[in-house]
Amino acid sequence: MINLIGEHNCKADAKGRVMLPSAFKKALAPVLQKGFVLKQSIFESCLELYPMQEWDVTMAEVSKKNRFNKKTNDFIRIFSAGVKLVELDATGRFLIPKNLCDFAGIKKEIVMSASAGIIEIWDKEKYEKAIAAARDNFASLAEEVMGDSNNNDNE
């Protein structure tokens, strides 16, 4: 798993091109040449940038699911809808297609935030609102998700 850390304020140009922050470029150096997958987030109005290595792991999990189950088939179709392959250009930029900019409300000011091996790409204003809203309940969320460290998910 790739260990990405931090959040970075960035700007998208009029065509939707964005410079990958140097800290992310450095962390991703061993896998930059393999490219990325850019997709809509499931739960938020943001985008997710998967290094190809992380995308392959995710798709290996998805591929284990039974495609003869309608709910599973619907999930896979929607999960994969609008997915784009992206590569960095010589200057370290990549293009966010217009339909994905529209989905996430990206205009100019954006935030790229590390999130467990992927990078979330947010409109800056939406990101700040989402973080502020989540902070109100973060203590109880942390307790619910991480509180019982002795709980084994395999039980």
User: Where along the chain do its domains lie?
Assistant: 7-146
**In this predicted model, what pLDDT tens digit does every residue of 33-81 receive, in sequence order?**
999 999 999 999 999 999 999 999 999 999 999 889 999 999 999 998 8
CA 102 to chain centre: 16
Least confident of 66-70, 102-106, 134-138: 134-138
Spatial CB neighbours of 135, under 8 Å, sequence gap ≥ 6:
none
The mean pLDDT of 132-136, rounded to a whole number, is: 84
pLDDT digits (tens, 9 = 90+) for 80-91: 888 999 999 999
Gap between the Cα atoms of 26 and 1, Å rounded? 15
Higher pLDDT, 3 or 105: 105
How far is the C-alpha of 12 from the C-alpha of 64, rounded, in Å? 37
How far is it, in rounded angstroms, from Cα 141 to Cα 155? 22
Superfamily of domain 7-146: Transcriptional regulator MraZ domain (3.40.1550.20)
What's this model's pTM, rounded to 2 decimal places? Answer: 0.87
